[in-house]
Amino acid sequence: MAEAARRIDRLDTAARFTAADAEALNARFAGVPTQEMLAAVLTEGLAGRIAAVSSFGAESAVLLHLIASIDPAVPVLFLDTGKHFTETLAYRDELIARLDLGDVRSLAPDPAELAARDESGLRWSYDPDGCCEIRKVRPLARALEEFDASFTGRKGFQSATRSGLARFEIDTTDAAGRLKVNPLADWSSGQIEDYLIASGLPAHPLVARGYPSIGCSPCTSVVAPGEDPRAGRWRGWDKTECGIHVEGAAEELPPGYDPAF
């Protein structure tokens, strides 16, 4: 791809990006306000066919509001794992209505795969990596096949593993060179809070109860003051990500793990 800033034909199913393209986009939008960058990406077609990946979690309303203010028809992909807090599902429905999101797609795990590999529904308790792969990694990978890029709500302050996160990067979970756009990469927790207040957006009901980062209910716990915001995710396990943002997620499963079972 000769120039990352060019418009990608939305009918070109082979349109993909390189590391040089991501670097060029990061250079073009260095210091540019998030809203201005998002407007250019969406109205100029800089990322081709793009969808937003949202957990409808603690801070999801900010990115969804920013995107919806430009184009509420942008597809939003929600991983309906079957393990969410009831509060998250209610919050999802509230934001869909409040922001008039026109294309929210719920991605469920494959029923046959669940029956074969997690019939009891308890895989999270002894193999959280395997559970995430079945309920998150595989469904998202299938859904993203039709897109050239995705928006994520990741932010650098959330954890040490996300520090220094760039606005534009290549999706390392995908060999085809899909672009990953992180509009809030350099936002602080204070900016997130200020935006929520200024925009009159509702807070996720679990935030006030000590959940600054919210995933599936069995693997999310309350975070104590001073802890990493994501300390409550998979507490007690050597695990910091669900796998949808990790290269070779299936290859990082515990020794002896067989994805067929």
Active site residues: 242
Burial of 200 from C-beta contacts in 10 A (0-12 / 13-18 / 19+):
exposed
Q: Residue 121: name the closest of 149, 152, 82 by CA.
A: 82
Nearest-angstrom CA–CA distance, 168 and 182: 6
Say if CB 47 and CB 5 are below 8 A apart.
no
* Sequence-distant (≥ 6) Cβ neighbours of residue 185 within 8 angstroms: 154, 155, 156, 165, 166, 167
Give φ, ψ of 87 to 5 degrees. -65, -35
